[in-house]
Chains A and B, each alone.
Chain A
């Protein structure tokens, strides 16, 4: 808390009212209220001592060589314990416990930063140089790339071939179809929950199962979509391998993603609709406007920014999904624009395949480079979507209605 006193206490204030008895002590006020406190520089002493002890400990523990990270971690642990003991000795147990937990809470925050920084650093350091020196990655697919070209790249320094435009197109098509399926369903379901249901069993069941749906593992959603489409095709078309081949397509992946998207859309839309003040609805009814017109013309426009922001976040979430697309749409080296027929590669699946099954097993470096570049692009897309959602939510938010 920033409670620092702006005016340093400079002895006596001349303007003290006559009634206030001068506190008669020296110009360095010895305040009984501050008695028994540790001096302000304690932490520096403890920190220095911890670094020294940490260095000693790491020398003892680590068998081979000096580890900088290990030294810092050990020193931090020693510091937290040291501060506790010092405070406990100089002050009291309560202050020591308070300080201990304060340090631990800060430590938790720093610990969480480490993987985030490491991850972003890895993606940018690995992906950015590749992407900048090979802009062709964004415009080519993998149809001309094979083991021989990758081996040439790795061993003879030939330019990196191939790219992931087919992944971008696949992600785009699958996401668009998924959005087209899930937004109307999600929107209407939340309208039902907020505007029509009166908290009956049906509404409560829907709310409960929407919550349950949020927890469906994404791979199960993929299996469901696959099983559903397969069942549909074998029932209506037949069981020959030609028909079974048709199960894996963009549409199946879109269905899988819809299962993941619908609950997110319902939850966020429901929240937004509930925020719309009832006065607006009543004002509209009082003018003789029908309920569905009221919803379309009053309720939805009022909450549209929140809804749009929620939908964008839902899109951002499914854009990064890998597993459900892997099992429903497969993967392909070439571009496929048609989500209703044939296998399709999505960008996350592309990254996965390049890492796990490099194009040239003996020369995996080019595949890895392409994967990191694609990961960078994927992160940027998802971050942009998140940013757009935030901007939409803030820029078009209805004026605060005194709630």
Chain B
């Protein structure tokens, strides 16, 4: 490194200035100002972009949000009012994400523990790579897999669920013969958010102070008791926030649902076709939409933006609030 420093000085320092004078430094003071300004500007631009996201989405969705005011129409294109249109979509989005979270969280925490505390050392690193691999696979490929492979495999399970648990509203209704249902979409979403929750939890589990772990082991704790005594208390806030981040991802994921779900009206049954999510509704209809329909879809996107924003902000807030109580003293 020192070599480069000397280089910079040799090539740019003006030989005429006295070494102890005011201008011994390489480059000019104005260069410093320009550079600082650029850095400052780039930071500001990011804030500006985010503000624009909000402003543009709101501007473009106004015709749908208040049709009588902004477009002189009594109703929007696909329903009487925007809320009648968007509520079932929000319901579908929340249900799909809930399935994903319920399925993914225990497995993700399990794998994170496996990597951080249970796996033999020779296995832990490769398993970490495998999880990263899962994260790298494009969502459209997940969607294709869910559409062709998983949905077929789910059909007999749906039959069984319907026969034996049909009294629950979730498993009522005719089971889909193609398997392209909200539950299948939820499973695909679960697989997609699994690596996110896993890698965040793994990071936190690995940060558990060795001192505390050894204190527990030296008292005669079994492996699981050590995890319960030291790892979980240390990582509690981190686990919650990583699950929230996974939820944010599930809410906004498009392709897995678009390809898998054979959509329809809102309903509680998870094993028949029906339901729709906001991102999937947009992806399916936006390419052909114009005018009012376009506004509707952008407004639906705005709702999604707000929901994910709230979820993500809660997650960040939990992290910052628990920093001082995490035991990392």
Contacts and interface: CB of A to CB of B under 8 A. Distances in A.
B42 interface: yes
Interface size, A (range): 35 or more
- Central interface residue in A230, A327, A330, A375, by most chain B CB within 10 Å: A327
Q: Chain B contact residues: over half helix, strand or loop, or mixed?
A: helix
Interface string B24-67: 11111101101110111111011101101100110110000000
Q: Which of B34, B49, B148 has the most CB of A within 10 A?
A: B49
B6 interface: yes
A295 B35 contact: yes
B79 interface: no
A109 B5 contact: no
A299 to B, nearest CB: 10
Contact of A196 (B40, B311, B313): B40
A383 B43 contact: no
Contacts of A254: none
B1 interface: yes
Contact of B25 (A109, A191, A202, A288): A288
A352 B304 contact: no
Interface string A284-328: 100111111101011001100000000000001101111100110
B137 interface: yes
A45 interface: no
B8 to A, nearest CB: 4
Contacts of A382: 136-138
Contact of A107 (B110, B136, B198, B305): B110
Interface in A165-217: 184-189, 191-193, 195-197, 202-203, 205-206, 208-217
Interface centre among B1, B248, B311 (most CB of A within 10 A): B1
Interface residues of B, number: 108
Nearest to B195: A112
A395 interface: no
Contacts of A25: none
B7 interface: yes
Interface string B98-117: 00000000111111011000
A111 interface: yes
B60 A292 contact: no
27 contacts: A1-B120, A97-B222, A102-B223, A105-B111, A106-B114, A112-B107, A119-B141, A192-B43, A209-B50, A211-B312, A211-B316, A213-B49, A216-B53, A216-B308, A217-B254, A219-B279, A220-B57, A227-B59, A231-B59, A301-B1, A317-B136, A320-B136, A320-B140, A320-B141, A323-B139, A327-B283, A368-B148
Interface of A: 1-2, 61-63, 67, 94-95, 97-98, 100-102, 104-109, 111-113, 115-116, 118-119, 122-123, 126, 184-189, 191-193, 195-197, 202-203, 205-206, 208-221, 223-224, 226-228, 230-231, 244, 259, 262-263, 266, 280, 283-284, 287-293, 295, 297-298, 301-302, 316-317, 319-323, 326-327, 330-331, 348, 351-352, 355-356, 368, 371-372, 375, 378-379, 382-383, 386
Nearest 4 A/B pairs, CB to CB = A217-B252, A108-B110, A320-B138, A188-B42
Given A2-B121, A224-B53, A386-B132, 9 more contacts: A67-B156, A106-B118, A109-B127, A188-B42, A192-B43, A196-B36, A266-B46, A348-B139, A352-B255
